[in-house]
Amino acid sequence: MKERIDEIVEVCLLAGKLMLESGGETYRVEDTMMRIAASFGMPRSHSYVTPTAIIFSIEGTDSTRLLRISDRSTDLAKVAAVNDISRRISRGELTLEEARKELRQVGRAQPGYPLWQQTAAAAAASACFASLIGGMSHFFPSLLSGGMAFWCFEMVHRFVKIRFFAEFFAAFVAGGLVLLMERAGFGGDVGNMMIGSVMPLVPGLAITNAVRDLMAGHLIAGLSRGAEAFLTAFAIGAGMALSLAIR
Amino acid sequence: MIVGQLLLCFVASALFGVIFNIPRRLLPHSGFVGMSGWAVYTLASRSGADGVAATFLAAFFVAFLSNVFARRYRTPATIFTVSGIIPLVPGGTAFEAMRHVVMNDYNAAISLAAKAFMISGAIAMGLIFSEVVNQLVKRRP
């Protein structure tokens, strides 16, 4: 019995860890873990999730497990995959062993889009936004500066683990490139091009998750995600401001 | 002109789905959500609504559509919401605020920053109200 409970806890924690690391909302993580535990015959479980840690315990047993989450990225396909597995567990379609195997598979999976595809998407999205607000003459300059900004963000983030610095630097690169292009007489309005180029850095997921967590009553998680969104916006603004200031 | 703008918005929102790593088969849907949000925003602001009110309406609609898609495809609503709200983000106002800070014109900067803050708040309120409606509908037998 003790081994089985340990295994259930392990599967719950694996599901929670995958979701939280991939950018799932904290209330969804708690809900998923408790549903999985209930489907395996443990209806009374407690979970406490913050963006950086998971605490999980099943009532009536002695062990409470704590899992530290240090690395977070954005991979919503993984959140959807874990969500799907949890639904199938609730319907009784998966045994404990199968669930663990499928979750491990999700954990090992590579991101759905390689870096070059994401960079290309960021470049094209920047170009589309700049054209949307400023007109089609902004398309190609923003394609260049938006793509470079996103690529710089990913590269700097790989070496310097401080996310806000990477965002700051990327915004600075975008601003610098736009100003250089303006000096070379290439492109249109500086403001429109800069806004377009930093769009891929905007903390859309942090804003959404902050609101959804606050609504679900997770005040700590919601406030910390809100702080994340605010700091990101501030880093982007500061990066652009620096490039404008040294012009 | 309007068709071109909507098309740009569709493409941009779908591409944002790539940045957020959403499943490939749902990319067109996230593009559609972003496009509809922008369409509501444009319609509202052309018919004389304030920027904050227009953003609120658009965010409400984005979240509403996301919940519809989420139920239909049995997947978290976040997948559609994240790229849907991106076109509504007050990038222009925030940029102007920051430019005035650089120029040491703090009065203009603060009023612009307050406006950007209000618009961000409108996005959040739109999402919240839509979620409330969603829960009321779900609870109805």
What's the confidence (pLDDT) of residue B141?
Answer: 60
Q: Are the Cβ atoms of B82 and A205 closer than 8 angstroms?
A: yes
Which helix (H) or strand (E) segment is B86 a member of?
A: none
Query: Do B52 and B123 contact (CB within 8 A), yes or no?
Result: no
B24: nearest CB among A112, A132, A207: A112
For chain B, give the mean pLDDT.
91
Q: Which of the residues A189, A194, A211, A242 would you substitute to probe the B interface, choosing the one with the greatest number of B C-beta atoms within 10 Å?
A: A211
Q: Are the Cβ atoms of B86 and A244 closer than 8 angstroms?
A: no
Domain boundaries, chain A: 2-108, 115-245
Three-state SS at A50? strand
What's the confidence (pLDDT) of residue B35?
Answer: 94
Residue tagged 């922008």 (tokens): B38
What's the confidence (pLDDT) of residue B115?
Answer: 92
Whole-structure pTM value: 0.88
CB contacts < 8 A (A, B)? 139
What's the confidence (pLDDT) of residue B28?
Answer: 94
Query: Do B29 and A142 contact (CB within 8 A), yes or no?
Result: no
Query: Do B95 and B115 contact (CB within 8 A), yes or no?
Result: no
> Which of the residues in chain A have pLDDT under 50?
none
Looking at chain A, list the stretches that DSSP marks H as alpha helix, in order from N- to C-terminal side: 2-21, 26-39, 76-90, 96-108, 115-134, 139-159, 163-183, 190-198, 204-215, 219-245
Per-residue pLDDT of A121-156, as tens digits, reads 999 999 999 998 888 888 888 999 999 999 999 999
As a whole number, mean pLDDT of residues B116-127 equals: 91
CB contacts of A83 in chain B (<8 Å) are 75-76
Alpha-carbon distance of A184 to A200, in angstroms, equals 25
* Cα of B77 to nearest chain A Cα, Å: 10
Query: Do B122 and B56 contact (CB within 8 A), yes or no?
Result: yes
Residue tagged 């944002």 (tokens): B16
Which tokens in the block code for residue A38?
């209930």
Query: Do B50 and B34 contact (CB within 8 A), yes or no?
Result: no
* Cα of B50 to nearest chain A Cα, Å: 18
Using a pLDDT cut of 70, give the percent of chain A over it.
Answer: 100
Looking at A96-138, list the stretches that DSSP marks H as alpha helix, in order from N- to C-terminal side: 96-108, 115-134
Using a pLDDT cut of 90, give the percent of chain B over it.
Answer: 64
Does B93 contact A at CB distance below 8 Å? Answer: no
Per-residue pLDDT of A153-167, as tens digits, reads 999 998 888 889 999
Domain boundaries, chain B: 2-139
Looking at B20-105, list the stretches that DSSP marks H as alpha helix, in order from N- to C-terminal side: 27-46, 51-73, 78-85, 91-102
Which helix (H) or strand (E) segment is A44 a member of?
A: none
B127: nearest CB among A75, A79, A208: A208
What's the confidence (pLDDT) of residue B18?
Answer: 93
Report whether pLDDT(B139) > 90. no
Report whether pLDDT(B57) > 90. yes
What's the confidence (pLDDT) of residue A33?
Answer: 93
User: Half-sphere exposure of residue A134, counting CA atoms within 13 Å on the CB side?
Assistant: 25
Q: Above 0.90 for ipTM, yes or no?
A: no
Report whether pLDDT(B45) > 80. yes
Q: Are the Cβ atoms of B81 and A208 closer than 8 angstroms?
A: yes
Confidence of residue B29 (pLDDT cuts 50, 70, 90): very high
Residue/partner pairs of A177-183 with CB below 8 Å, 24 or more apart: A177/A144, A177/A145, A177/A148, A177/A149, A178/A141, A178/A145, A178/A243, A179/A243, A179/A244, A179/A247, A181/A141, A181/A144, A181/A145
Query: Do A3 and A70 contact (CB within 8 A), yes or no?
Result: no
A240: nearest CB among B19, B98, B124: B98
Report whether pLDDT(B129) > 70. yes
Which tokens in the block code for residue B136?
């009321």
For chain A, give the mean pLDDT.
90
Which helix (H) or strand (E) segment is B130 a member of?
A: helix B106-139
Question: Which letter, b or e, does each residue of B19-50 get, where b requires 16 or more Cβ atoms within 10 Å of its Cβ?
Answer: bbbbbeebbebbbbbbbbbbbbbbebbeeeee
As a whole number, mean pLDDT of residues B93-118 equals: 90
Which helix (H) or strand (E) segment is A65 a member of?
A: strand A64-68
A204: nearest CB among B15, B24, B82: B82
